[in-house]
Chain A
Amino acid sequence: MGELVVFVIFAPLALVGALTMVAARNPVHSAMGLLMTLFSVAVFYVSNNGHFIAAVQVIVYAGAIMTLFLFVIMLIGVDSAQDNQEVLPNQRPIAVALGLALLGLVLAAGSQGWVPRGTGSPVNGTIENVSDELFGAWILPFEVTSLLLIIASVGTIALAQFRPRAIAGDEADESAVDGELV
């Protein structure tokens, strides 16, 4: 019964957040909508006994990744005017139709039965249980993801070092000064 109450409260919140993210003109409002959806998903993790990943969801997604998004939004400025014009004709109706078609197909496929009947043994996603699983059978994929994170960090530093050289003739002087500073 408690789970039903939680679902009824947070499922609309997740949907409203997602729709806000897509519909908002201002990218900061989009980020806030996504934040609401991420929190709601964290609540659903808890009601599915995933306590550890719910904490990770709040810390990593709602904390780190959304902060990164907001940093970049502030860095490159909030320009909402460019989003009004569409280059392709009929882009928006076709996009909405394709989204609805995707939803209809997924729901039709799922109506045959989403998940096969399982063992029914209760799952308890505490830190101890998840780490037993993670550092037992999944130790090699875990190490590979650490390698992935290092590669991503190095690649980001390489991108951050990038400075545009002379783009056009009239900007040559400015670029030359930039090059010297670098």
Chain B
Amino acid sequence: MNTENYISKYCQIENNTVFVNGEKLFELKDVGFSEFIKNAYKEFEIEYPKFFKMDNLSKLAFVTSEIILKDVCEKDQENDIAIVFANQSSSLDTDVKYQNSIQDKENYFPSPAVFVYTLPNICVGEISIKHQLKSENAFFVFENFNTKFITNYANQLIKSRKAESVLCGWVEFYQEKYKSFVYLVSKDGLLFHNEKNINTLYNK
């Protein structure tokens, strides 16, 4: 389905590599995710101390989004950018960590700082706070990236004038297995916003 919306910028992070608009811009092999994402954060000159308190899913979603938004969001003015994210494992990576903190009654230490990240939409909140995006947002869970759903949902937000543009993405993280693919849908850009183009980019 062709629409008059476009994909104006996209970013992918997987296998310790960052691709921006299809171009490999950063790679750091043979390190774990924490080390990799910290270095990606530095490489793209992101300055945001709250980043270091985030869980892995939020770090992944935040850095991928930040690479797109840092040049798009206008400072000191409202940016009507909706956020629509999805993944497979929800917040399971942090859920397991939290469960381990309450499993053993001899060693019981539930922490609110961990518990708050046992919801997948927290990463959307983190990105909204960074850019003061008081905008439409939703988090969905699917077995696989549901291109048809996300494409239609984003188009409907723009069509119904609930958002000017939409930051869409698949942000999956579970125990070092991760993949993020985030793209900005707006009125102008590189590629038509349709299922075919998104599938092509996602599978690259």
Do A and B come together as binding partners?
Answer: no
